[in-house]
Structures are given as structure tokens and as C-alpha cells.
Amino acid sequence: MGVIVVSMKVVLGSDHAGVDLKLNLLNYLRDLNYETVNVGVDSPVPPVDYPDYAEKVGNAVRDGTAERGILICGSGVGASVAANKMAGIRAGLTHDVYSAHQGVEHDDMNVMVLGARVIGMETARELAHAFLSAKFSGEERHVRRLAKVKKLEETCNQYEAEK
């Protein structure tokens, strides 16, 4: 059996609550031959603020340092809210395999958010595999909906700039 070659680069970041899950996922993804970028944090102490790591993951995806991102905090909710404030980021809080791949296939999700206090290690691995192996379908209905999401983002950004 040959070596699996994966060309995708993935950025991972977490706050203090997600450190253990993130470090485990980094090793798992490296074993699967993904190229990984770790934007921190690597210790549960001192506590840190999840928006800082949402920004780091989001920026790495936006600037092309990585194709996709995985972001982890305690529940996943705060990091998801923060990441979705960034233009061009489509982050989804994901705790089931269907949503992990469907979010990419239908919504072109580029950041998967996990709650380290909600799911276990094996589930996180299954979710990462589903998320990273999924491809955007390109179906007309999904392209149309994604265009509306992007238009909404542009409108909101314009509104904020005019305030």
C-alpha cells in the first residue's frame, strides 16, 4: 500500500480550552500527510481570548497560508461567532459528521469550529476527516446561495464603513 499524498494545507488554532484537542488533531492530520500550521495556543495556562485565535485562523485562510482552518474553543460557539465576523470566512460549528462535509459541499465552509468540552477526540478526528475530504459541489443552487451570502457580507461591510 502506497503513501497517501494530500496537498491541502490546514491551519489550526485554539484558545486554552481547546489545546489538548488541537494538539491531538495536529498529530492526526500530520499522520494523514496534511501540511499543518499551528497558530497557537499550546498551553492551557494562562487563559487566552478565543477571538484572538479566530482572527489568526481566519487570516491564514484569507491570505492563502492555508486552504482550510480548524478552530477550537470550549463550546465552539464563541470562536464560531468571532470567525464569522471576518470577511471571506465561512465558519461552521460542527459536532456531527454530516454537517462537517455538508457545510463544505453546500456552503463552501472554509473553517470548521469544534467545542472541546462538547466532543471527544475520536469524534474530532472523524469530523476533521469529513471536513477536509469534502469538496464544494458547485451545483447551481449552492453557487446561487453562496453568492447571496457574499452579497450580504458586502452589504454589511458597506453599512459598517458608512457609520
| Residues belonging to the active site | 73, 106
Closest by Cα among 59, 43, 120, 123 to 91: 59
Alpha-carbon span 163 to 150, nearest angstrom: 20
Alpha-carbon span 93 to 103, nearest angstrom: 10
Beta bridge partners of 14: 72
Cell of 136: 464544494
Closest by Cα among 120, 139, 117, 8 to 73: 117
Q: What are phi and psi of 117, to 5 degrees?
A: -90, 5
With cell 469544534, the residue in question is 114
In degrees, rounded to 5, the angle at the alpha carbon of residue 20 between the alpha carbons of residues 16 and 23 is: 110
